[in-house]
Amino acid sequence: MAPLLYQLALFLSAASAALSLSPPPPLEGLLANGNFEEQPSPKDLRKTVLLGPHALPKWEISGLVQYISGGPQPGGMYFPVAHGVHAVRLGNLATVSQTVPLKKGALYALTFGASRTCAQEEVLRVSVSPEQTGDLPLHTLYSSYGGDTYGWGFRATADSMRVVFHNPGKQEDASCGPLLDAVAIKELAPPTMVRGNLVKNSGFEEGPHLLHNSSHGVLLPPKPLDLNSPLPGWIIESLKAVKFIDSAHFNVPAGKAAVELVAGRESAIAQVVRTVPNRAYKLSFSVGDARNDCHGSMMVEAFAAKAAMKAPFKSEGKGKFETYAFEFTAVSNRTRLTFFSSFYHTRVHDYGTLCGPVLDEVRVFPKLK
C-alpha cells in the first residue's frame, strides 16, 4: 500500500508542477478600478476635485483632476459617461496613471472612453513610455451622445509599465479638459495568415477589448498616432479613425468582428502583403451595412499595386452584404492593399453619428494559371 501512496504523491507533485509552469492566460479586461466606480474617500475630495496623488483608488494623479458623475453639471453643462456612473476629468496639464503587469515583448491594446468637455481642440495624450505616446484629438465627435470609445496599441518593453493619460492643453478655465470614463486592456495575438490567404487577420477577428456595457464599437486612431496598431496586421492610414465593431451589437458579414469605415475618404485602412513581382493575384473582400440605420450608396474603393476597384453597395440598413473581387499584378515583393469609403454617411434618425460601409473577409491569393 505504501509504494502505491508514494507513486500517487509523485504523480500529484508532477501534475502540480506542470500546472505551475503553464503560461498565464492572456490579459484582458478593465484595469484596477478601470471604470472609476470605486469611489474616493470623502476626505480626499473638495466638491469634485481630487486631493493628493493617491486620492483616486488604484490610480496616481497629478494636477487638477475631478471626480465626475455623469449627467447635468452645475453651470448648465452635460457630461456623458457612457460606461458607468463615474469618470475623471483632466484639467490643465493633469495626469492619471497606473502601473500594469505585462509580458515583455507582447502587443497590447488599451480601450477607453473619452470625450471633450470644453474646448474644440482638446487632446488626450496616451503613453506607456516616451517612445510610445499618442495624442488623440477629440474635436471630431463620431457619435451624437459624445461618449466615444477609442483603442490604442503598444508593445510591452518591460514586465510592467505605467499607463498614463495626460491633458497637454492649458485653457483659461483650469478645469477644462478631456473626460475619461473607462479603461481596459487586452493582450493581442500576433497577426497570422490562414492557408490560401496572404492577408493577416483577414476577418478582423483580433482587435481591442470591447467594453461589456458599450454598443458603439471602438474607434481606431490614424497611423501617426499609433505606432503599434490595436488591429493586428492592419494600418489605419487616414486622417480620421475607423471603427472596430462586433457581431453582438452590429451586423458583420462573417465571424465575430469587422471594421466600419465611418469617415468617408478620411477613413482608410491598409495592409502590406508579401507578393512575387510580376505574378498575378486575386483580391476579394466583403462590403455590407452594420444594420445600424445607415442607408444609401456605400461605395468602397480598393487598391492593390496598380489596380483599383470601386465596389458599389446600396444599403437599405438591413444588414446585407456583397462580395467583390478583382485581379492585380504585383510589381514588387511587397504590395499595399488599401480600402476607403467613397462617401460620408450619418444615421438616418441620428445625424450626429457617423457611419459607413462595413469591410470584412479580405483575401489575397495567387491566380491559377
Q: Which pLDDT value is given to residue 351? A: 79
Give yes or no: residues 197 and 80 share one domain.
no
Give yes or no: residues 321 and 295 share one domain.
yes
Give the 3-state secondary structure of residue 268.
strand
Give yes or no: residues 147 and 43 share one domain.
yes
Q: Which pLDDT value is given to residue 3? A: 47
Domain holding 233, by residue range, is 189-366
Give yes or no: residues 155 and 279 share one domain.
no
Which of 187, 220, 252 terminates a domain? The answer is 187
Q: Which pLDDT value is given to residue 12? A: 53
In a domain, 15, yes or no: no
Give yes or no: residues 34 and 174 share one domain.
yes
In a domain, 11, yes or no: no
Give yes or no: residues 151 and 232 share one domain.
no
Give yes or no: residues 344 and 205 share one domain.
yes
Which of 187, 218, 234 terminates a domain? The answer is 187
Instruction: Return the CATH number at 107.
Output: 2.60.120.200
In a domain, 12, yes or no: no
In a domain, 9, yes or no: no
Give yes or no: residues 170 and 218 share one domain.
no
In a domain, 16, yes or no: no
Give yes or no: residues 136 and 207 share one domain.
no
In a domain, 1, yes or no: no
In a domain, 3, yes or no: no
- Please list the pLDDT of the chain residue by residue as tens digits (369 residues): 444 444 444 455 554 444 444 556 778 899 999 999 999 999 999 999 999 999 999 999 999 999 998 877 777 777 878 788 899 999 999 999 999 999 999 999 999 999 888 867 889 999 998 889 999 888 777 776 767 899 999 999 999 999 999 999 888 888 899 999 899 999 999 888 888 999 999 999 999 998 876 678 999 988 754 568 899 999 998 888 899 999 988 989 999 999 999 988 888 999 999 999 999 999 999 999 999 888 888 999 999 999 999 999 998 878 899 999 999 999 999 999 999 999 888 888 877 788 899 999 999 999 876
Give yes or no: residues 48 and 123 share one domain.
yes
Q: Which of 49, 129, 140, 60 shows the shortest CA–CA distance to 91?
A: 49
Q: Which pLDDT value is given to residue 17? A: 45
Copy the grid coordinates of residue 276. 512575387
Q: How many domains does the chain have?
A: 2
CA pair distance 53, 55, nearest whole angstrom: 6
Contact, 80 vs 147, CB < 8 A?
A: yes
In a domain, 318, yes or no: yes
Give yes or no: residues 203 and 178 share one domain.
no
Instruction: Return the CATH number at 258.
Output: 2.60.120.260
β-pairing verdict for 300-304 and 307-311: antiparallel
Give the 3-state secondary structure of residue 225.
helix
Q: Which pLDDT value is given to residue 1? A: 44
Which of 187, 222, 242 terminates a domain? The answer is 187
Give yes or no: residues 236 and 329 share one domain.
yes
